[in-house]
């Protein structure tokens, strides 16, 4: 006989505590809860149910409640032993918070198979304590679309972070955005701090961008021939970032950095490049590289498909660690073409440059006849109108831009000193081209964005809103006694779930990603759309109001309290 026993108060404990108690009891030959025959866990955001007998992790068995509302055993024996994937799932589901309807559906389904496997088993359902009251976000249409997308698109997404793998659960499918807000296909509304990962500094569907794109589209979407707008956008960029004496437009940040490295190599006649662990510059082969063992070794591919020979041309230094750069220049004297850096690291979460770090890079590169490349794909027109180079007063040889300069359309650009840029075809021998480069829609949107950013008070407003959010988050964490460190530069910020300071890649790795996962889901349930990974920036836009920040902080206080 199937007994569906709702979590009794006495068993309302968190899964980890239970499993530890269970293991301890088993080791002593006892049972922690004598009445308990079997415990089923439910990890709703993953559509996952797990079952355990009363003996803890080792005998963890799983069945999966999939998005088609079917239950299957996923090929795992329901009495199977410990496997890596079991443990991984344990890890995941500890992070997750259920939504009530899904919980109900999944639990009844799992109870049915439980009964077929073990007729008569008495079943207790455990829920993490802070999951109550169960959140109510309805993502049913998103789930359906995600399941369909997964059949045709790897992971259902066109850029991996969108899949929510780092935080578990399933992504809402977005229908529209306006100002600081997003709406998903199930009608849920969110205050958005992703901002399409940085471009939307004016907010969603900013009227000036929409009008510019509409006007441009009416005249034709692409010509593969020069247009007036390209010159105007280049002029606006040069005026804001004078070190970009000449500019070449491309279609993405990846293209910009890839081209900049080729240019540095062409200009210097050297092949090695230095990047920093934790900095991301797009997915070009030579940049998908991680540190090898020992600080002086060549880089190793961080992605399958990157030839080791390419990766060996990339040397990896430590961000905010000048000696790590000096050592590479000593070891590879005369071989290094350039150093590429995010002047404010954004892709390991926000880590500002330490005092003097950027200036030291300038000194080292120019002292070694190498070039300094600032990847300002995130920071350009974001941390100030002139980017990080204006903010910190350090001038690179080459700058890469993207994101903001396209107003939300696909774009990238690289530029630098005239004598360097004259190496680019057709003036020089370095080849680089693009069918849609300088596309009239992206250029029109970019011009509109930069003109809007020229309005007085723009960056003061971004600073004020960013500061309000950062201070409020730090305060909420303090109140909830959750260790957290908020790093911020202007409208870019990250709340790391660890004690500070967070000033290096090693520091970043101390962050509690599981705590972030719980916080992320608790915020999403409360209508706050954060980056689905601890190691990303939150982007505040000009469309975010003080009321938005107040709502966000109320949600954060609740979310963090649940996690204390």
Residues forming the active site: 280, 375, 403
Euclidean distance between CA atoms 155 and 162, whole angstroms: 9
Nearest to 350 by CA among 502, 475, 136: 502
Euclidean distance between CA atoms 70 and 313, whole angstroms: 49
Q: In terms of C-beta distances under 8 Å and separation of at least 24 residues, what long-range contacts does 147-151 make, across chains too?
A: 147/67, 147/68
- Residue with Cβ nearer ligand PLP (209 or 537): 537
Residue closest to ligand PLP when measured from CB atoms: 253
Q: Give least dist CB 128 to ligand PLP, A.
A: 33
- Residue with Cβ nearer ligand PLP (15 or 256): 256
What number of residues does the chain have?
Answer: 564
Q: Give least dist CB 479 to ligand PLP, A.
A: 32
Collapsing DSSP to helix, strand or coil, 303 comes out as: coil
Q: Give least dist CB 426 to ligand PLP, A.
A: 25
Question: Any idea what the Cα angle at residue 224 is, between residues 223 and 229, rounded to 5°?
Answer: 70
Q: Give least dist CB 400 to ligand PLP, A.
A: 7
Work out the angle between the directed axes of helices 546-563 and 458-480 (0-180°, nearest 10): 20
- Residue with Cβ nearer ligand PLP (254 or 513): 254
Nearest to 276 by CA among 324, 308, 310: 324
Residue 362 Cα to chain centre, angstroms = 29
Q: Give least dist CB 348 to ligand PLP, A.
A: 11
- Residue with Cβ nearer ligand PLP (285 or 326): 285
Q: Give least dist CB 160 to ligand PLP, A.
A: 11
Q: Give least dist CB 466 to ligand PLP, A.
A: 18
Helix locations, 73-133, DSSP H: 84-94, 100-117
Is residue 133 reached through a cis peptide bond, with omega within 30 degrees of 0 on the bond before it? yes
Q: Give least dist CB 194 to ligand PLP, A.
A: 11
Question: Please, are residues 176 and 539 in contact by the beta-carbon 8 Å criterion?
Answer: no
- Residue with Cβ nearer ligand PLP (93 or 280): 280
Q: Give least dist CB 200 to ligand PLP, A.
A: 13
Nearest to 158 by CA among 146, 144, 143: 146
Residues of this chain that bind ligand PLP (CB under 6 A) = 197, 252-254, 257, 280-282, 342, 346-347, 375, 377-378, 402, 412
- Residue with Cβ nearer ligand PLP (36 or 377): 377
- Residue with Cβ nearer ligand PLP (76 or 275): 275
Helix, strand, coil content of the chain in percent (nearest 5): 40, 20, 40
In DSSP terms, 7 is beta-bridged to none
* Token code pair at residue 513: 């990603």
Handedness of CA 305, 308, 309, 311 (dihedral sign): positive
Measuring CA to CA, how many Å separate 39 from each of 45, 93, 114, 180? 19, 14, 10, 43
- Residue with Cβ nearer ligand PLP (97 or 260): 260
Q: Give least dist CB 336 to ligand PLP, A.
A: 20
Nearest to 52 by CA among 25, 79, 16: 79
Q: Give the number of other Cβ atoms within 10 Å of residue 135's Cβ.
A: 18
Pairing of strands 492-496, 485-489: antiparallel
Measuring CA to CA, how many Å separate 440 from each of 29, 68, 207, 221? 73, 43, 18, 6
Euclidean distance between CA atoms 514 and 99, whole angstroms: 19
- Residue with Cβ nearer ligand PLP (113 or 287): 287
Beta strands of 54-198 (E only): which ranges? 61-65, 71-72, 122-125, 174-178, 181-184, 189-192
- Residue with Cβ nearer ligand PLP (252 or 389): 252
């Amino acid at each position: 006989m199937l007994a569906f026993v709702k979590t009794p108060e006495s068993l309302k404990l968190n899964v980890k505590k239970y499993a530890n108690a269970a293991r301890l009891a088993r080791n002593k030959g006892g049972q922690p809860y004598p009445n308990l025959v079997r415990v089923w866990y439910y990890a709703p955001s993953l559509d996952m149910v797990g079952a355990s007998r009363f003996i803890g992790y080792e005998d963890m068995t799983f069945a999966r409640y999939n998005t088609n509302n079917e239950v299957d055993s996923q090929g795992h024996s329901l009495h199977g032993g410990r496997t890596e994937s079991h443990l991984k799932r344990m890890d995941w589901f500890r992070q997750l918070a259920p939504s009530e309807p899904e919980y109900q559906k999944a639990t009844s389904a799992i109870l049915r198979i439980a009964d077929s496997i073990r007729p008569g088993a008495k079943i207790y359902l455990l829920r993490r304590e802070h999951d109550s009251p169960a959140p109510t976000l309805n993502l049913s249409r998103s789930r359906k679309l995600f399941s369909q997308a997964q059949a045709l698109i790897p992971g259902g997404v066109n850029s991996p972070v969108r899949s929510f793998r780092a935080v578990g659960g399933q992504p809402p499918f977005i229908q529209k955005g306006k100002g600081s807000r997003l709406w998903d296909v199930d009608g849920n509304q969110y205050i958005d701090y992703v901002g399409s990962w940085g471009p939307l500094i004016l907010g969603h569907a900013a009227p000036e961008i929409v009008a510019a794109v509409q006007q441009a589209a009416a005249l034709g979407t692409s010509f593969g021939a020069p247009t007036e707008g390209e010159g105007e956008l280049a002029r606006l960029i040069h005026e804001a970032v004078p070190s970009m004496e000449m500019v070449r437009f491309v279609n993405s940040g990846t293209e910009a950095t890839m081209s900049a490295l080729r240019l540095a190599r062409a200009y210097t006649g050297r092949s090695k490049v230095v990047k920093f662990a934790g900095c991301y510059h797009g997915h070009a082969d030579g940049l998908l590289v991680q540190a090898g063992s020992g600080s002086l070794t060549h880089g190793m591919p961080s992605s399958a498909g990157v030839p080791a020979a390419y990766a060996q041309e990339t040397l990896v230094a430590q961000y905010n660690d000048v000696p790590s750069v000096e050592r590479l220049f000593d070891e590879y004297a005369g071989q290094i073409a350039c150093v590429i850096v995010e002047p404010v690291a954004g892709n390991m979460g926000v880590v500002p440059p330490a005092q003097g770090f950027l200036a030291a890079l300038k000194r080292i590169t120019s002292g070694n006849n190498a070039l300094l490349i600032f990847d300002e794909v995130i920071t350009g027109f974001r941390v100030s109108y002139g980017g990080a180079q204006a903010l910190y007063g350090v001038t690179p040889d080459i700058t890469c831009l993207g994101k903001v300069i396209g107003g939300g359309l696909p774009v990238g650009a690289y530029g630098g000193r005239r004598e360097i840029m004259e190496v680019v075809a057709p003036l020089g021998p370095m080849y680089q081209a693009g069918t849609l480069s300088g596309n009239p829609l992206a250029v029109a949107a970019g011009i509109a964005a930069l003109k809007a950013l020229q309005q007085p008070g723009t960056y003061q407003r971004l600073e004020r809103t960013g500061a309000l959010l950062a201070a409020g988050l730090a305060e909420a964490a303090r109140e909830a006694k959750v260790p957290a460190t908020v790093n911020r530069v202007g409208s870019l910020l990250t709340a790391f779930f660890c004690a500070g300071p967070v000033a290096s890649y090693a520091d970043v790795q101390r962050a509690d990603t599981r705590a972030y996962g719980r916080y992320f889901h608790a915020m999403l349930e409360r209508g706050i759309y954060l980056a689905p990974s601890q190691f990303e920036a939150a982007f505040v836009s000009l469309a975010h109001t003080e009321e938005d920040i107040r709502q966000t902080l109320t949600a954060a206080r609740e979310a963090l309290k649940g996690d204390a």
